[in-house]
Amino acid sequence: MAIIYTAEAVNAAIQKNWQADLKALKAQDITPTLATLRVGHKGADVSYEKGATKSMRRYGIDVKNVVLDPPPDEGTIIKTIESLNEDPSVHGILLFQPLPDGYDSHRIIQHIDPQKDVEGATDSNLADTLSGRLTGFAYCAPEAVMALLDHYDIDVYGKRVVIIGCGLVVGRPLASMLLKKRATVTMCNTGTKHLPEVAKNAEILIAATGRVHMVTEEFVSPGQIVIDVGTTFQNGKLQGDVDLEAVKGIVKAVTPTPGGVSGITSAILAKHVIAAAKAQAADKSGV
């Protein structure tokens, strides 16, 4: 039976690393603050807003929820973002995506100040991640995968890693992070032929497609580590890309959804907000 890698221990380690910074900020009367920006009333966004707010406050981070409902024109969204950029009490901005149909999401996102872009969605931060510099903020999900690998002492050096899903939010940033660690990365998409066979050849298999339970027993082999990054709300429940019941009797280790990678992203987001608050405080003091 597979080892189940869960978020709890990983989150405790991440939180331990930021405690000194959080304490130092509070000593300066600075409470790291995240502004969430929701456009419309989509159920998944409302649920994420509630979960993120609860998590951040548990970590000692304040949250300012901004809701534009009914959805306004693009100019209003951009003005709202620019107002949050200029607000010194706000250190991080999280715009819930995807935006409702009809908006130029890319154009809107670029108005977020990269120093407050704690989700790593702007071109500036994304380019930094894809280039391998990793000095800005990256998307939280791929960073959560790396934190999990690090916590469980999984050395990716020279390992055959297969990523199913090559999107800009998970697949491509994660590939860049893994390549920096000298993994041998194969990225798969809808054009990949003989996908189950490719997946079986991996030592580490990562699923990030948003297709519920697409990874079944035909995709896996004994000794593998399988990491599920998929998050899809289906029938009111959070579902992953990996059929846990089908694979756990075959592979060496697997992450569940929920409670795996999806449970680590909030700790990464908190880490980013604290880092943003620390950098902005240093800029103000001229340090």
Beta bridge partners of 184: 160
Q: Is the pLDDT of residue 236 over 80?
A: no
Q: Is the pLDDT of residue 14 over 70?
A: yes
Residue 287 is predicted with a pLDDT of: 57
- Which residues does 17 contact at the CB level (< 8 Å), separation at least 6? 271
Confidence band for 286, pLDDT divided at 50, 70 and 90: low
Residue 134 is predicted with a pLDDT of: 75
Query: Looking at 49-53, 160-164, 243-247, which range is the least confident one?
Result: 49-53
Measured CA to CA in angstroms, residue 178 lies from 5, 81, 107, 230 at distances of 19, 32, 29, 18
Domain 29-115 shares a fold with domain 140-263 = yes
Q: Taking the complete model, does pTM exceed 0.85, yes or no?
A: yes
CATH of 140-263, one of 2.40.10.10, 3.40.470.10, 2.20.28.90, 3.40.50.720: 3.40.50.720
Residue 45 is predicted with a pLDDT of: 84
CA distance 281 to 278: 5
**Contact (CB, 8 A) for 266 and 56:** yes
Percent of all residues in the chain with a pLDDT value above 90, rounded to a whole number? 80
Confidence band for 224, pLDDT divided at 50, 70 and 90: very high
Task: Name the residue with higher pLDDT: 41 or 154.
Answer: 154
Average of per-residue pLDDT across 48-76:
93
Average of per-residue pLDDT across 17-38:
94
Q: Per-domain residue ranges for the chain?
A: 29-115, 140-263
CATH class of 29-115: alpha beta
Backbone angles phi, psi at 112, to 5 degrees: -75, 130
